[in-house]
Each structure stands twice: as structure tokens, then as C-alpha cells.
Amino acid sequence: RSARELIADRRFGPYFFGNLFSNAGNWFQNIAAGVLVFEITGSNTKVGLISAIQFGAILVFTLWAGKLSDRVNRRRMLLFSQILAWLGAVGLAITILVIGDDNISNPLPVYLATAVIGTGYALSLPALQALVPALVRPGDLKQAIALNSVTFNLARAFGPAVAGWVVAAFGAGVAFGVNALSFLPLIIVLSLIRQREVDMSGESDGSISESFRIAFGDRRILVPLIGTLAIGFGSDPVNTLTPAIANLFGQNRGFVGLLVAAFGAGAAVAAFGLGSFVKRYEAERAGSYGLAVLGGGMAMLAISPNHWIALVALAVAGVGFIGAITALNSAIQDRIDEAVRGRVMAIWSVFFLGIRPIAALVDGAIADAVSVRAGIAVPAAVATAMAFWLRRQPSTERTERREPAPAA
């Protein structure tokens, strides 16, 4: 079915819009936290620590969450994790509103709340990815995966710009409050929606080690996973360095949101044409093209002479990002069995988002020690190198979903 038909679907449609509101709220959190910590400390490394805490939780909890998601109802697991993250968001909003932006001198409340929100996010990731096939028919999976990515990138197209304006006009506390409210639509949808029945009774021993044997033992899965690692690293400056980029061009805190929005706008516009793009090329080749565009956009950002070129560069990078992530995610989802989907997608989450604590600290440290432009150039080089590596891989024929390996 087309994107329009899927959005109108009674199962997938409410999930799509609930996700969209929640993802938009995440950008209010990200922009406000980055701006507030940068103003308190003046350190890119300490801004990077926000991402390190948030995505570090993925390294700690996501593999276990993937194992659990192959044993329990994924919708209920996702609901629980969203409520946990919401509690962290509410606590931070109340704290900053009571203390006031101008009176807070320590970023600790931001770090503590980020740890709670990050834990909820880490617990939700495998179920968030694995639930999509239970909301659509098998033939709609690629389009549904692309639309699932659209919720994130469409939110990034308008969420950061609005968030930057809210932070500039009303303060970080109000932005944190908007984020807390944005959790509610998805929580309500998850409470009411009914997923399709899926067969999770395949031959599987239910262990995390089994998912690693499947992921690392089959190059049809391993190659897209390695490519996904580079996508997470190559796109990190959008999360870590945008406050410093705005400062580099002499722009105010509201421009931070515009920078992130430009990246999201490029991704959102490109996402609606991804169905034909992914079908036209073999997955790894499509992923290499996307990574090349991502790397090129980030390289353009690193040498941008002014803030207008920086916005264009980030839009180009966003196009490459959505192309690469959709192609490689679809390849993995096509090649795994339902009985191990949650655990394998947990590994995907670790590769995509678990790299960000490392990337955030590396990018922030390079920006502080050398320059902001150098902190952007390194991820650009990583994405470009991975594009060439993927392009040189032997062709992988499209196959039916891989049956899980027998228990050892």
C-alpha cells in the first residue's frame, strides 16, 4: 500500500501520529537540554555528555530488552517503557520550572533526568522496531519502516525549530514541559491499539547469544549492521555540536533548532520517495548511496562559509541519512524470523544508537581541542569511508526471511 493508505490504516495510522508527537517532544528535550548545559558550562564535551548518558543506557539495557520483547507482548512492553520515560520528563520539567533557567548553576538535574528518559528509551527500542511488522501486512513492511522513520525525521523537521523558539522566548523549563506532554498521545494509542497476531513460535532458544550468532554469522545481516554503525556516528554532530555551530556563525539559541530542523526536513521530504529507491537498488548499494550523501552533506557543513550554507548542507545530509537508514533497516527486517526479531533489532539499536555515546564524546572532545569544524569533519569522513566499503561488498541477493539457527 501507498504511504497515504498506510497512514489511514486503523492500526498503523494512530501509531504513526502518536510516534510523531512523541518524537517532536523529544526535540524540545534535546534542544533545551543542549542549550541549557552549554550556557551553564560553556563546554561541548559536557553537552556531549547528555547524549552519552541517554544513549549509554542503550548499551546497558537494550539487549536484555530485546530478549524480553521476544517473550512478552511488545505493545505492552512499549507502553511500560514510555510511561517510565514520561516520569523522567515530568520530573525535569517541574525541577527547572521551579528553580528557573537563570538560577540553575549545575547541569546535574538535566543529567539525572536524561538517565531516566534514556532508560525508558533503551527499553522501548527493540519493541518499537519489532512492533511495526505486527501493525501491517508483510507486503507493506518496507513502506511502514520508511514511515516509521518519517515520524522521527518529520518531527525533526519542525520540532527543533519550534523548540528553539520556545527556549528563546519562554525558557528551557517550558520546553521540558512540552516534552512531558508529548508522551501522552503515544501512551494513549498504545493503551488502545490492537496489533495483528504474529507467529513467534519459531525454533529458538530465546537467548541473547543466539541473536548474536544469527546477526554475526550471516553476512546478509552483518553487513547492514556495520553500515548502520557508520550512520549513527556520521550523523552525531546534529545532536552534539549544533549549539557550537550556531555560536560559530554568531547566531542565537533559536538557530540551534533551525540547524536540526534543516537536517530533519531533508530526511522527511526524501522519505516519501524511499519505497521506489529501496526497491530499485540492492539494499547494501542503496545504503552506500545514502551514506555517501550523508558524508558529503556533513563535509559541506564543515567548510560552510556562513549559516545559510550550513542549513543547506544539513538538509543534504538529512536526505542521505534517511536513505541509508531505511535501506539497511529494511534489509535486516526482511532477513530475520519473527521469533528472534526483538533480539536482532536490539543489536541493530545498539549499532545505531549505542555508538552515539562514543561519537558524542569524540566529536565534543575534537571540537574543544581542535575546532568545531574538525569535530564535524571526522564523522563526515567516517560516513564517506563506509559508503565506499559498502559499495565494494559482493552483491547480496534478496532472500526470504532467514530461519533462526537451531539452539546450540
| Residues 240-265 as b or e (16 or more Cβ within 10 Å = b) | bbbbbbbbbbebebbbbbbbbbbbbb
d(CA 340, CA 129): 12
d(CA 142, CA 350): 21
- Output the pLDDT for position 264: 82
* Per-residue CA distances from 283 to 56, 72, 229 (Å): 29, 31, 16
Q: Which residue, 160, 136, 142, 327, is CA-closest to 243? A: 160
Identity (one letter) of the amino acid at 303? I
Which residues in the chain land under pLDDT 50?
397-408
Is residue 202 within 8 Å of residue 403, measured between CB atoms? yes
d(CA 399, CA 246): 46
Q: Which residue, 348, 342, 347, is CA-closest to 133? A: 342
Here the contacts of 313-316 (C-beta below 8 Å, separation 24 or greater) are 314/238, 314/259, 314/260, 314/262, 314/263, 314/266, 315/262, 315/263, 315/265, 315/266, 316/266
d(CA 287, CA 299): 18
Cα–chain-centroid distance for residue 175? 20
Q: Which residue, 327, 323, 301, is CA-closest to 312? A: 301
CA 337-341-343 angle, to 5 degrees, is: 130
- Output the pLDDT for position 405: 42
- Output the pLDDT for position 401: 43
Cα–chain-centroid distance for residue 407? 32
- Output the pLDDT for position 372: 92
Q: Which residue, 36, 27, 34, 32, is CA-closest to 48? A: 34
Sign of the alpha-carbon dihedral angle for 48, 152, 164, 291: positive
pTM for the predicted model, two decimal places: 0.70
d(CA 270, CA 318): 8
Is residue 80 within 8 Å of residue 52, measured between CB atoms? no
Question: pLDDT tens, 129-181?
Answer: 777 777 777 677 767 777 777 777 677 677 777 888 888 889 889 999 999 99
Mark residue 171 as left, alpha or beta (left: phi above 0; alpha: psi -120 to 50; beta: remaining).
left
**CB-CB neighbours of 175 under 10 Å:** 31
